[in-house]
Chains A and B, each alone.
Chain A
C-alpha cells in the first residue's frame, strides 16, 4: 500500500463532500466490489459510515488522506462478500480507535488515572479486533469447523468415541 499504487489506481475515490459532520464518498463503480464486497448503493452506506466514524475532527485535507488510506486498506484486505466488507470496515474502525487510545494514553502519561483509562480502552478495542479476525476466518471457512483425526488406537478394555457427542434435554 504505497502512494505509487494510489496514483496508479487514482479513481478509487471519485468525490468527497463534507456536510454537517457527515461524509459522502462516491467510489468508482468498478472499485465498489473491491472495497466493500458490495455493488449497489449499499457500498456508499458502508463507506460513509466508515469515514464518518474515523474522520471526525480532521481538516478537509486530512479527511481526504485518511479516506484514501482506509479505502486502499479495505481493497487490500479483499472482502469477498458484503458480510466481510461490513466486518472489515468495523475492523478498521476498531484498529484505528485502539491506536488512537494508545496515543492519547501516551500524551497523558503524567496523570496515571487518565493514562490507565485510555490504555484499558485501547486493550478492549484490540481484543475486539482479535474477535473480529476470528469471526472473519470462521466466515471464510463458512462456519465449518474442520477436525482431522488421524490415528486412534483402542486397546483391550479401552473405549473411544470419535465424533460429536450430544446429550438430549432432561425432562
Chain B
C-alpha cells in the first residue's frame, strides 16, 4: 500500500504553476469587449481574484447562445450592468445575484418558448411548469439574499411581562448548545 502522504507530494510536484504573466479572465474580457476592468470587478462583489470565477460562469451561460459578437457584447453588458445595479455587497451576494439573474432569464425564456408554440401540446405544459419552478426558485433566492443582508436577525418588541411569585420567564434568544458525547465505561 502506498502511503497517502507520498502520493500528495508527487501530485504537488506535477501541478502546473500559474505564471504571474497569465491574463485573468476579467482582463481578457475587458480587452476584447472594451469594458472597464474595474467595473467588471465591481459588479461581482468580489475582489480582483475572486471576480474571475463569477465572470467566467456568466460568460459560459451567455456565449453559447449566439455567435454574433455584437449581440454577445450587448448581452454581457446587460448582464453585468444588471449585476452592478443590484449592488452585491460581498462575494456571496455576487454569486447569488448572478444566479438570480440567470434564474429570471431562464424562467422568462421558458414562458416565451411555451407561448411561441401555436399548438398547445405536452411541450407547452412542460415548459410552463419549468418556468413556474424557476420563478419559485427566484422567490427563494431573493428571500435568502434578504436574510443574508439582514444577517438572519428578527425584530421583536416585548411590551409587558408580568412574572408572579414562583413563575419563571425568559425574554430573549435561547440557544442550546450541541449535546455532548456520552462515553460508556
Contact = CB atoms under 8 A, between A and B. Distances in A.
B57 to A, nearest CB: 18
Contacts of A3: none
Contacts of B79: 45
B132 A125 contact: yes
A82 B97 CA distance: 11
A38 B160 CA distance: 44
Contacts of A44: 78
Interface residues of B, number: 67
Contact of A128 (B120, B135, B154): B135
Contacts, number: 215
A57 B118 CA distance: 7
A94 B111 CA distance: 9
Interface stretch (B5-13, B19-27, B142-150): B142-150
Interface in A131-154: 131-132, 134-135, 138-139, 142-154
Contacts of A157: 166-167
Contact of A155 (B104, B125, B167): B167
Contact of B135 (A56, A94, A161): A94
Interface in A38-64: 38-42, 44-46, 49-50, 52-54, 56-57
Contacts of B170: 160-163
Contacts of B168: 154, 158-160
Interface string B129-161: 101100110110011011101100111111111
A97 B143 contact: no
A90 interface: yes
A170 B135 contact: no
A162 B158 contact: yes
Contacts of A155: 164, 166-167
Given A162-B158, A163-B174, A142 B149 contact: yes
Given A52-B112, A83-B86, A147-B155, A121 B169 contact: no
B171 A163 contact: yes
A147 B166 contact: no
Contacts of B64: none
24 contacts: A40-B85, A49-B112, A53-B111, A93-B131, A94-B135, A97-B111, A121-B125, A121-B128, A128-B136, A134-B139, A139-B146, A149-B156, A151-B161, A152-B161, A154-B164, A160-B161, A160-B167, A160-B170, A162-B171, A162-B172, A165-B173, A165-B176, A171-B178, A171-B181
